[in-house]
Amino acid sequence: MRRILMPFFLGLCSFLGGVTAVYVAVHGQPFAKADSPAPGSDLGRLSDRFESVARKLSPTVVAVEASKVANKGGKSKTVEESGSGVLVRLPGQKAVFALTNNHVIAQATPEQITVSLADNRIVKPAQVWADPESDVAVLRLDGLDVIPTANLGDSDQVHVGQWVLAFGSPFGLNQTVTHGIISARERGQISLGTTIRIKEFLQTDAAINPGSSGGPLVNLDGDVVGINTAIASNSGSNSGVSFSIPINLVKRVAQQLLEKGSVSRGYLGVQVAGSFEVSDAIKLGMDRAQGALVETVYADTPAATAGFRANDVVLDVDGVAIRNENHFINLISSLAPGKRVQVKVWRDRRTILLESEVGDWSKGQGRFRAQ
């Protein structure tokens, strides 16, 4: 990708230079320089804000590379995975950490991971924690007591249409900054073909490309609101549809990884449909296509004990209206094992109330993939 991108970029510059030369030969003067935004104008203030955030965040953005051994066709081969990350400080911890994606460093030991800092220093993590189901990884970097770190914001306060900047190392081009807006929230209807199960992404049109994974998505206050993780593209490059893990989810996962070494998640023991269409709602006698449609109830699980049935539609959990299947998955996953919940479901054209204990996902996942 790097060899394809750079010749195209250089060729484009040469083309523009040629146009300028022709213009001068014909008219005897170069193009007039475009006026800068007037100081104090809306555009000028926005430009100043972009520059300010870029100056503030760039020193905290790192490039992450991992050497992994992959088995293909019965043969072992070393594969280099490149991504990005952001330096942060976490509550109750003295060390500096780099947040990135699990898929960037998965199957690599700390000795196989290299972190390149903005000041060109190269360090290796002292310890690595990862959660494949949310695609979050945390790297502890020792010996960096005096170094800029990013402020972690509140992704619950992010709104559609809000300006954001994306930082990373696309195609190996470190310290790249792009801009866009928040296109949507709570996106979970995407298949990433991995072990990622917890999906409530922020969608953005800020340009994110291969190598940007793990870099920060930042609001115009300079606060990190997401960790970039995926793009939707037929070509493999940016198509204006990119996804970031909300930083509040990242903070919860990171805290549990540091405190316990793993993430505790709840489950009930049902498999829900990947979508709940209008036709499904009409067939079941509902007046709106909202909720999570149960496809399977697994035996010897909290859901089976509570009386869940196939074709139930989960409408509400402890007073929280369920929007869709991903909302249901994420909500149940966030609950502590052992908690008892009231679940309202639609069954036989009426609502009924079930009470269930939340199970421990780590104990049930070996038998099935369920919520």
* CA 51 to chain CA centroid, nearest Å: 24
Long-range contacts of 4-7 (CB under 8 A, 24+ apart): 5/171
Contact assessment for residue 266 and residue 337, using Cβ atoms and an 8 Å cutoff = yes
Closest CA to 83 of 27, 139, 35: 139
Pairing of strands 75-88, 127-131: unpaired
Rounded distance between C-alpha atoms, residue 132 and residue 197, angstroms: 8
Helix (H, G, I), strand (E, B) or coil at 182: strand
Among residues 210, 230, 55, 73, which one has the least CA distance to residue 148?
55
Burial per residue of 297-309, b for 16 or more beta-carbon CB atoms within 10 angstroms, e otherwise:
bbeebbbbebebe
Q: Pick from 284, 312, 319: which is nearest to 371 by CA? A: 312
**End-to-end CA, the chain:** 39
Q: How far apart are CA 282 and CA 286, in angstroms?
A: 6
List, in sequence order, every residue forming a beta bridge with 97; answer none if it has no partner: 88, 140
Q: Return the active site residues.
A: 103, 135, 213
Convert 252-264 to b/e letters by CB count within 10 Å (16 or more is b).
ebbbbbbeeeebe
The pair of structure tokens assigned to 195 is 């072990």
What amino acid is encoded at 172 in this protein? Answer: G
94/55 Cα distance (integer angstroms) = 25
Taking CA atoms, 221 is separated from 42, 53, 97, 232, in Å, by 16, 7, 21, 27
Are 224 and 218 contacting, i.e. CB atoms less than 8 angstroms apart?
yes
